[in-house]
Amino acid sequence: MNEIEAKLTSKDFASDQEVRWCPGCGDYSILKQVQTVLPDLGRPREEFVFISGIGCSSRFPYYMDTFGMHSIHGRATAIATGLKATRPDLSVWIITGDGDSMSIGGNHFIHLLRRNPDVNVLLFNNQIYGLTKGQYSPTSEQGKVTKSSPMGSVDYPFNPIALSLGADATFVARTMDRDPKHQQAIIKRGYDHKGTSLVEIYQNCNVFNDGAYEVYTEKSSKKDETLMMEHGKPLIFGENNNKGIKLDGFKPVIVSLNDVSVNDLWVHDETDLVKATIISRFYDDPSIENHFPRPFGVFYVNNNKKTFDDLFNEQIAEAKEKKGTGDLDKLLAGRETWVVN
């Protein structure tokens, strides 16, 4: 390949298919950010594979001019595992939604994270079933009134970040559709991570669940309601950066910077699983008093867990080295034979 080949642009990653999400859907932003990030990764286009399940978000691969598979509901994770295990040379991306990954594909989701193949998961969380026209999803808040829950849903919601940490994920992050810069940075970091990267993206469904994340995205409330985590920096939030999180033993508390020095705040450490577990539980309903802000950014990174694809293929290499490449005729003959004359 010609090394000085013209650098790819975001346009090179757009397929010729008309994008058919509803006008105003948060998915457009995610598509745009991915198409913006990919040219900077320095890989030829043919090495990218996008695999999705079913749902609005899962139409994503059709709009990317890469290799892609729009598979069946909840199974993109399993298909990607088989592909990455046999083709570790590829950059494999999983596109999934809250119904696809948390509900019908929940089993594959936790086992993907447990095994840790070097793939990237973009979880579009809009807290609703969009493609089937508006039923509550496993991340919908309790009491949600939808077509299938006229009296309000009785189900408690899943917290995908806490679930991922529980499944021993090695890269766990959250971003949102309305913050392109943050989204791009997080997607890039997810790609750079060797192992499975889980990026939850708060994505607005403006038709069936409009405004679900308004408090985190609107200028008027964003600063008070979100906690933008950065490695090595104290956890500060609030309209005038006037509030912080302090750890009282293992108990997080919200403090005012008028009363407490910045030096006494909790300093975010991405490599600390205990702290990541605590902060992943900042999942309060924003309407209750004294609730914690919702964290965004990288919760946790573990660079010490070997990837599934490496372990899987190392065994093949080891077997070949120890036994030599297989001899088919020897195998077919087995240990004991006899001759009939």
Partner 1 sequence: MAKTTENELESVVIRFAGDSGDGMQLTGTQFSNTTALFGNDIATFPDFPAEIRAPIGTLAGVSGYQIHFGSKKINTPGDMSDVLVVMNVAALKANLKGLRKGGVIIANSDGFDSKNMRLANVPEDKNPLTDGSLSEYDVKTIDVTKITRAALADSGMGTKEIDRCKNMFVLGLIYWMYHRDMQSSIEFITSKFGKNEAVMNANIKVLQAGWSYGETTEMFANRYNVAPAQMETGIYRSIMGNQAAAYGLISASVKCGLPLFYGTYPITPASDILHELSKYKNFDIKTFQAEDEIAAICSSIGAAFGGSLAITGSSGPGIALKGEAIGLATMLEMPLVIVNVQRAGPSTGMPTKTEQADLMQAMYGRNGECPVVIVAAQSPSDCFTMAYEACRIALQHTIPVFFLSDGYIANGAEPWKFPQSDDLPEIKVSFAPQRAADDPKFMPYLRDEKLSRPWAIPGTKGLEHRIGGLEKQNETGNISYDGDNHELMTHLRQEKVDRVADNIPLQSIDTGAETGDLLILGWGGTYGALKTATTILRGEGLNVSHAHVRYINPFPKNLGDILKNFKTVVVPELNNGQLVKIIRDKYFVDAIPYNKIQGQPFMSDEVVKKIKEILA
Binding site for partner 1 (CB under 8 A): 15, 17, 44-49, 51, 61-62, 64-72, 75, 77-87, 89-90, 107-108, 111, 312, 315-316, 318-320, 322-326, 328-329, 331-334, 336-341
CA within 13 Å, CB half, 114:
9
Residue type, 14: A
Give CA angle at 40 (39, 44), nearest 5°.
Answer: 50
Instruction: Return the number of the residue (46 or 289) whose C-beta is nearest partner 1.
Output: 46
Min dist CB 263 to partner 1, Å, is 46
Whose Cβ is closer to partner 1: residue 111's or residue 231's? Answer: 111
Closer of 87 and 147 to partner 1 (Cβ): 87
Is 100 or 225 the residue whose CB approaches partner 1 more closely? Answer: 100
Reading the block at residue 14, the tokens are 């757009």
**Token reading at 43:** 């890989």
Question: CA angle, 219 as apex, 213 and 225 as ends, to 5°?
Answer: 55
4-9 contact pairs (CB < 8 A, 24+): 7/39, 8/38, 8/39, 8/45, 9/39
Minimum distance between the CB of residue 72 and partner 1, rounded to whole angstroms? 5
Q: How far is the CB of 71 from partner 1 (least distance, A)?
A: 6
Minimum distance between the CB of residue 29 and partner 1, rounded to whole angstroms? 21
CA distance 207 to 147: 13
Q: Left, alpha or beta for 134 (phi > 0: left; psi -120 to 50: alpha)? A: left
Residue 50 vs 216, nearer CB to partner 1? 50
Q: How far is the CB of 172 from partner 1 (least distance, A)?
A: 20
Q: In the bound complex, what is the minimum distance in angstroms from residue 143's beta carbon to partner 1?
A: 32
Helix (H) or strand (E) run with residue 82 in it: helix 76-86
Q: Nearer Cβ to partner 1, position 47 or 269? A: 47
